[in-house]
Amino acid sequence: MLKMNSFFSKVMLFLVAAVLVISSIGLSPASAQTPFKDVSSSDVEIDYLYNRGLIKGISHDQFGPDYSVTREQAATLIGRALGLNGTERKTRFSDVSSSSYSSGYIQSAVDKGIITGYPDGTFKPKQTMTRGEMAYLLSRAFNLSSTSAVFFSDIKHDTHQDSLYTAVNKIATAGISNGTGGGNYSPEKKLIRKEFAIFLARALDPRFKVAFQNATIDKLYSTTDNLNVRSGPSTGYSIMGQIDTNDEVQVYGYSGGWAYGKSGHLTGYFSLSYLSKAATKPTRVMVIDAGHGGSDPGAVANGLREKDVNLDVSLRVERMLKEKGITVLMVRRTDVFYSLDYRAAYGIKNGGDAFVSIHANAASPGVSGSETFYSASVANDSKQLATFIQNRLYKAMEHTNRGVKEYDYRVIAANPLPAALVELGFLTNDADAAKLATWTYKERAAWAIAEGIEDYYDWKQR
């Protein structure tokens, strides 16, 4: 919400207004009541308008709240409310005679651009008003100009100045209408006298206004991580925040290829290209363990410490997996030591579904290349995970392929999740170490591991 302060002030204004209404209008026995038997004491707007001489009943004791409102009645009521010249006189319309009670108000309203006739020169004074026409009438009569993020599912989003959407938006923004419920405005519905009175009272007096609240008309889910929430329906608008895969969006309305709605604390526009009807994508939660850390440097050779190389590549893998919509749990993101048993238990404790530990090797200087380990003592999928990674890794590193191997390293053997341990290359080998010192090859290694992990998930999903 961009204008939180303004929103709260509106809410406060409404609460204050509600108290004022209850204490001073209609409900108090001391104030003037209407004579209408078909109006309840809670119809404070009708009381308000009646006591100011702005509305009359259909008889001495009947208001006729459910009767429809004709175009000439609307022109007359608005004309009275605005203090327009109501003197009966000749009009420009062939079907409104100068002796008609409404002729003066119709001509005045037309002169002010509040109401228009039809192209054939008629006004159709006895035709009933629709709620859509009332929106035009009020927005023009009260010179409403402010609009906001207002959506009704039965009105096409069209920000053109003369559109029905814009007229309805203006009266909603002005606190005159909240629609007819369920996210609808019902523009084609005939306007009844009670609604007219409510609209008019809200337009005239802020104490009657309502704070507009969009209704949820759909629930959609993000298909990606880091989906931008924007302040308007195009990529040209500012970014207010981001949501992640499977986060729910309560949709208030649509504008072109965008949904306007709320997700968590964020309210704004979401691209429909990244929303789906159901959170169908299976959850993918990968645990990445950067080997060693803190007091344990791992292998040290050729000016490189294994713990640093492992962490650097692991953080790159994290970034790339997130870009693929895969959730990542990092055992460590800083230079800190954790025991092997802590690492082995970390994933299952935190909701992970597979585990990859990232290392670099040491041996005699002539030994080089990449290899990936799995432990046969745990889940069957471990070998597949190791294979998908290794098949990508040695090619990306332009390394000797030392293969996929079984070995019961504790961090994978004691791990209840499908788990693989990657050896990027040998720090003790000049060529391998030279590569692992560069941005390019660390990025390539990370890319290979992330792709291999995605291969694994795609294979699992099959």
* Residues found near Zn ion in the complex (CB under 5 A): 291, 298, 359
- Measured from the CB of residue 409, what is the shortest distance to Zn ion in angstroms? 9
- Measured from the CB of residue 336, what is the shortest distance to Zn ion in angstroms? 15
Helix (H, G, I), strand (E, B) or coil at 172: helix
Residue closer to Zn ion, measured from CB, 110 or 427: 427
The 10 Å CB-count burial string (b at 16+, else e) for 27-48 is eeeeeeebebebbeeebbbbbb
- Measured from the CB of residue 452, what is the shortest distance to Zn ion in angstroms? 19
Distance in angstroms (rounded) separating the CA atoms of residues 357 and 375: 12
Residue of minimal CB distance from Zn ion?
359
Distance in angstroms (rounded) separating the CA atoms of residues 276 and 254: 14
Residue closer to Zn ion, measured from CB, 71 or 442: 442
Exposed / middle / buried, residue 88 (Cβ in 10 Å: 0-12, 13-18, 19+) = middle
Residue closer to Zn ion, measured from CB, 124 or 305: 305
Distance in angstroms (rounded) separating the CA atoms of residues 18 and 329: 50
- Measured from the CB of residue 398, what is the shortest distance to Zn ion in angstroms? 22
Distance in angstroms (rounded) separating the CA atoms of residues 13 and 19: 10
Residue closer to Zn ion, measured from CB, 284 or 359: 359
354-361/419-426 β-pairing? parallel
227-230/239-243 β-pairing? antiparallel
Residue closer to Zn ion, measured from CB, 198 or 412: 412
- Measured from the CB of residue 307, what is the shortest distance to Zn ion in angstroms? 8
Residue in the block written with tokens 């410490």: 305
Number of H-type helices and E-type strands within the chain: 13, 15
Residue closer to Zn ion, measured from CB, 268 or 298: 298
- Measured from the CB of residue 298, what is the shortest distance to Zn ion in angstroms? 4
Integer distance in angstroms from the first to the last C-alpha of the chain?
41
